[in-house]
Amino acid sequence: MSEPFAARLAARTARVGSVLCLGLDPDPAGLPPGFSPDVAGVERFAALVLDAGLPWVAAVKANLAFFEAFGSAGLAALERLRARIPADVPFVADAKRGDIGSTAARHAAALYDGLGADAVTASPYLGSTAIAPLLEREDRFVYLLCRTSNEGAGDIQDLVVGADLAAGWPAEAVHRRVARLAEGWSAHYGTIGLVVGATAPRELAAIRETAPGLPFLVPGLGAQGGDEAAVLASGGVRDGPWAERPGHGLLVSVSRGIAGAARATADPEAAVSEAAAGWSARLAVLR
């Protein structure tokens, strides 16, 4: 896998005409009737969602916790699901890693080499040297947590940090400082984007102003009720190489909004396909 992630994502986005990212987070407590709440049922349902949604999506994002919870059997299921994803569809491992350099190097080996992830999510909390092993792979990509979509995200991410007079940076919210730092790291590595939730539209717009050249992975539409219009207005890259590519570096993840269509229907595969097609059309963003 030597082609840069940016090129592979842009090619797939152009092929499907959408920035939709299919999220896989199969909760055993929320599976439709007919699917057992164990690892076998989780894998079977995730495979159904994956196969039905693939024709409509620019990428697939799997939340690793929903598979890790089952131990080695869950990881084996995740590996089999990964093998179902065609080579031209970028795969994002939603792992939220971030640790000291030696540990991060093993994260890179596990996620990139072991699982075959094209991109991962990671925390910037330990700083640039901690995530460097994830960033150094020129053919892979890292989405740093910036302003997440969950309730309570603002407890820390919206705190105001002091001005950095030496750098010429104003006092600002933590999420904007993360975006500012990430812009600088990107100038060196070129393999950094940001996770910015659709549930925080004002913050999303502010982060785009701070980091006009960084791609966004945006969760929070669908079941979380995020602001679709704000995402389409501010999610795309405005400056730099990503701005010239189909989709402008934007990926919008929808999980329950697609998988949930399988409930209370005699044909869950058709229902999921229809839901994925609908979201794909709503997120039809190209050059």
Catalytic positions, written as ranges = 96
Residues 17, 284: contact at Cβ < 8 Å?
Answer: yes
Alpha-carbon distance values, 124 to 7, 66, 212 (Å): 25, 23, 19
Phi, psi of 161 (to 5 degrees): -105, 155
Residues in the chain: 287
Phi, psi of 236 (to 5 degrees): -75, 150
